[in-house]
Amino acid sequence: MTLATLLILAAALIGIGLYGAFSQQSFVMLMMGLELILNGAMLAAVSFWALTGGGAPEGQLLTIIVMAVMAIEMAMGFALVISVYRAKQADMTEALDGLKQ
Protein backbone atom coordinates (compact mmCIF):
# COMPACT_ATOMS: atom_id res chain seq x y z
CA MET A 1 0.00 0.00 0.00
CA THR A 2 1.34 3.41 -0.90
CA LEU A 3 1.45 6.57 1.18
CA ALA A 4 -1.03 8.28 -1.13
CA THR A 5 -3.57 5.48 -0.70
CA LEU A 6 -3.27 5.59 3.06
CA LEU A 7 -3.60 9.38 3.12
CA ILE A 8 -6.72 9.20 0.94
CA LEU A 9 -8.18 6.64 3.35
CA ALA A 10 -7.27 8.88 6.31
CA ALA A 11 -8.89 11.87 4.60
CA ALA A 12 -12.02 9.79 3.97
CA LEU A 13 -12.17 8.81 7.64
CA ILE A 14 -11.76 12.43 8.71
CA GLY A 15 -14.43 13.55 6.24
CA ILE A 16 -16.92 10.91 7.36
CA GLY A 17 -16.17 11.80 10.98
CA LEU A 18 -16.74 15.50 10.33
CA TYR A 19 -20.03 14.75 8.60
CA GLY A 20 -21.08 12.49 11.48
CA ALA A 21 -20.10 15.00 14.13
CA PHE A 22 -21.88 17.92 12.49
CA SER A 23 -25.01 16.18 11.23
CA GLN A 24 -26.04 13.95 14.13
CA GLN A 25 -28.07 14.99 17.16
CA SER A 26 -27.41 11.91 19.29
CA PHE A 27 -24.54 12.06 21.75
CA VAL A 28 -23.35 8.58 20.85
CA MET A 29 -23.26 9.33 17.12
CA LEU A 30 -21.50 12.63 17.82
CA MET A 31 -18.82 10.80 19.80
CA MET A 32 -18.47 8.19 17.05
CA GLY A 33 -17.83 11.00 14.58
CA LEU A 34 -15.12 12.38 16.83
CA GLU A 35 -13.56 8.93 17.07
CA LEU A 36 -13.47 8.64 13.28
CA ILE A 37 -11.71 12.01 13.07
CA LEU A 38 -9.08 10.88 15.58
CA ASN A 39 -8.68 7.52 13.80
CA GLY A 40 -8.12 9.32 10.50
CA ALA A 41 -5.48 11.54 12.08
CA MET A 42 -3.84 8.53 13.67
CA LEU A 43 -3.83 6.63 10.37
CA ALA A 44 -2.18 9.57 8.64
CA ALA A 45 0.46 9.85 11.37
CA VAL A 46 1.19 6.13 11.32
CA SER A 47 1.37 6.16 7.51
CA PHE A 48 3.91 8.96 7.53
CA TRP A 49 5.84 7.22 10.27
CA ALA A 50 5.91 3.84 8.57
CA LEU A 51 6.53 4.93 5.00
CA THR A 52 8.74 8.00 5.35
CA GLY A 53 10.28 7.97 8.80
CA GLY A 54 11.99 4.63 8.50
CA GLY A 55 10.57 3.29 11.75
CA ALA A 56 11.55 6.16 14.02
CA PRO A 57 10.13 5.70 17.53
CA GLU A 58 8.48 9.14 17.50
CA GLY A 59 5.72 7.80 15.26
CA GLN A 60 4.92 5.00 17.66
CA LEU A 61 4.90 7.43 20.57
CA LEU A 62 2.52 9.77 18.75
CA THR A 63 0.19 6.86 18.01
CA ILE A 64 0.18 5.75 21.63
CA ILE A 65 -0.56 9.32 22.76
CA VAL A 66 -3.45 9.64 20.29
CA MET A 67 -4.85 6.29 21.45
CA ALA A 68 -4.66 7.47 25.08
CA VAL A 69 -6.42 10.72 24.15
CA MET A 70 -9.13 8.70 22.38
CA ALA A 71 -9.68 6.51 25.43
CA ILE A 72 -9.85 9.51 27.76
CA GLU A 73 -12.21 11.33 25.39
CA MET A 74 -14.55 8.37 25.20
CA ALA A 75 -14.54 7.83 28.97
CA MET A 76 -15.25 11.50 29.68
CA GLY A 77 -17.83 11.68 26.91
CA PHE A 78 -19.79 8.68 28.09
CA ALA A 79 -19.61 9.89 31.70
CA LEU A 80 -21.04 13.23 30.58
CA VAL A 81 -23.76 11.53 28.52
CA ILE A 82 -24.77 9.33 31.44
CA SER A 83 -24.83 12.34 33.77
CA VAL A 84 -27.00 14.37 31.39
CA TYR A 85 -29.30 11.42 30.78
CA ARG A 86 -29.80 10.87 34.50
CA ALA A 87 -30.47 14.56 35.13
CA LYS A 88 -32.67 15.42 32.13
CA GLN A 89 -33.62 12.08 30.53
CA ALA A 90 -32.18 13.46 27.28
CA ASP A 91 -30.00 11.66 24.76
CA MET A 92 -30.12 14.29 22.04
CA THR A 93 -28.27 17.58 21.87
CA GLU A 94 -31.44 19.55 21.16
CA ALA A 95 -32.84 18.71 24.59
CA LEU A 96 -30.02 20.58 26.30
CA ASP A 97 -31.00 24.11 25.36
CA GLY A 98 -31.36 24.97 29.06
CA LEU A 99 -27.58 24.77 29.52
CA LYS A 100 -27.08 28.02 27.61
CA GLN A 101 -28.19 30.17 30.55
Domain 3-90 has CATH 3.30.420.40: no
Q: Tell me which amino acid residue 2 is.
A: T
Rounded-to-integer distance, Cα 24 and Cα 16, Å: 12
pLDDT digits (tens, 9 = 90+) for 39-98: 998 898 888 888 887 767 777 787 888 889 889 988 998 898 888 888 877 777 777 676
- Per-residue pLDDT at 100 exceeds 70: no
**Would you kindly state where each structural domain of the chain is located, as residue ranges?**
3-90
Regarding pTM above 0.85, the answer is no
